[in-house]
Chains A and B, each alone.
Chain A
Amino acid sequence: MADKTDVKISVKNLKKNFGSLEVLKDISLEVTEGEVVVLIGPSGSGKSTLLRCLNQLEKVTSGQILVDGVDVTDKHTNINKVRENIGMVFQHFNLFNHLNVLKNMTLAPVHLKTLPKEEAKDKAMQLLSRVGLADKAEAFPSQLSGGQKQRVAIARALEMNPDIMLFDEPTSALDPEMVGEVLAVMKELAKDGMTMVVVTHEIGFAREVADRVIFMEGGYIVEEGTPDEIFNHAKEPRTIDFLSKVL
């Protein structure tokens, strides 16, 4: 493990219930700076919930989550300020449908005054070129393909200049031919040293990009390790069983 100062996210004994349903039972996890962690597991295993707990889109039932040393589960923490530092990309893109691409990207930084309007625009244009969509700045979300929407969503999250990026099944709602373009942007991001936590079913992506793969089932972390350890030498029968179905 890297030394303490490098820890970006630290989860301790996290539990999350939806009513009487226990979704996360006892999760402890650390993510270090620049690390790419991929969460895999069957649906209902709690991986998306875990991700959503990290930026408090879901309130935790018990346990502690530290992001950059700040306890996000503490009521006195200004969660909005913490979230500025954690970008999130959703399965269904969640672009603001009433705004064009540029306004989608500049809305938050301009409103929160993290960037002056003109700078926010310039930065948005740079990010759009980076994801290959500079020509779509004026387009509305309804005029974009799924892959384009997701690339805009990634760019929108990057516009806030986050240290950490969370990806919640970013390619699951895409047509197969568009998966590649989104994964390419994500690989690029990983190469640039972004700390990433990714929930995905893209085993190929996990193999290639992940520093660590975590297999979850039934609200627990069953097994974790390097892609090689998990995909080629899994020890737990449940991991082996799951992988036999998806590989």
Chain B
Amino acid sequence: MVMIIQTYGTMLLKAMGHTLLLCLLSLVFASVIGMIFGLMNVGRNRVLNFIGTVYVDAVRGVPLIVLAYFIYFGVPTAIQQGLGITSFRLSPLQAGTIALSMNCGAYMAEIVRAGIQSVDRGQMEAGRSLGLSYGAGMALIVIPQAIRTMIPSIINQFIITLKDTSILSVIGFPELTNVGKTVMGNTFKPLQAWAVVGIMYLIVITILSKVSKQIERRINRGR
């Protein structure tokens, strides 16, 4: 195990960097996607409700690995053949970010929806009765309160997404799990190799949950 750390330490750390990069990018996009589709789902507009529901159900109904294959292999082929742009390709990072953002975004949309619906209807009514528009009521009154109840679920989702990056090893993105495979192949020491990889995930995720607990506590104190 010491040998693995000595020989492959830098490589594994770099892979962890890739994992975090992929995770971070996905989280940023997923937050935007989640906010948009979540808001679509709480509004009264039937068409938007429908689009939001279809998106959430479709993405949640497809395994991430299938979504990743579809975007990495399927979509470029479609664009090459359909639009005649033969040079079109997605890098593993691009495809991975898209797949993970879509996946995480669907769950975030549900978190946003639940968060907004947890705010008493009277809050919006009071805002509207003062002359605020629906949008202003959402932005100034409902969402600031919804975010507080959403935070634990968001953090939970972030941790899930961090772990889900490992699935994207299948499209060849050099994140931690993928590099773990290489290390195992090179050393023929699966036990040690996967122990090291596992502990690396564990450390990062534990730090993340501790930090998030702190954030959660701080927010609840201000309540």
Contact = CB atoms under 8 A, between A and B. Distances in A.
A83 B128 contact: yes
Given A92-B122, A94-B120, A94-B126, A107 B131 contact: no
Given A107-B140, A142-B223, A96 B129 contact: no
A80 B125 contact: no
A97 B123 contact: yes
B130 interface: yes
Contact of B131 (A94, A98, A160): A160
A144 to B, nearest CB: 14
A111 B120 contact: no
A87 interface: yes
Nearest to A97: B145
A85 to B, nearest CB: 8
B128 A94 contact: no
A108 B125 contact: no
B101 to A, nearest CB: 29
A81 interface: yes
A233 to B, nearest CB: 36
B123 A96 contact: yes
Contact of B140 (A55, A111, A157, A160): A111
A22 to B, nearest CB: 22
Interface string B99-136: 00000000000000000000010110111111111001
21 contacts: A57-B125, A83-B129, A86-B129, A90-B126, A92-B120, A92-B122, A94-B120, A94-B123, A94-B126, A95-B126, A96-B123, A96-B145, A98-B144, A98-B145, A108-B131, A111-B132, A111-B136, A112-B131, A112-B132, A142-B223, A160-B131
A88 interface: yes
A108 B130 contact: yes
A123 interface: no
A156 interface: yes
B223 A160 contact: no
B137 to A, nearest CB: 10
Interface of B: 120, 122-123, 125-133, 136, 140-141, 144-145, 148, 223
B126 A96 contact: yes
Contacts of B136: 111
A84 interface: yes
A88 B123 contact: no
Q: Which of A86, A108, A112 has the most CB of B within 10 A?
A: A108
Contact of A80 (B131, B145, B148, B223): B131
Interface of A: 55, 57, 80-81, 83-84, 86-88, 90, 92, 94-98, 107-108, 111-112, 142, 153, 156-157, 160
Contacts of A55: 129
A42 B127 CA distance: 28
Nearest to A107: B140
A108 B141 CA distance: 10
Nearest to B132: A108
A90 B122 contact: yes
Residue among B125, B126, B223 with the highest chain A CB neighbour number at 10 A: B126
Nearest to A91: B122
Nearest to A84: B131
Contact of B141 (A80, A90, A96): A96
Contacts of B133: 80
A11 to B, nearest CB: 18
B125 A94 contact: yes
A108 to B, nearest CB: 4
Contact of B130 (A84, A92, A142): A84
Contacts of A90: 122, 125-126
A160 B145 contact: no
B116 to A, nearest CB: 14
Contacts of B128: 57, 80, 83
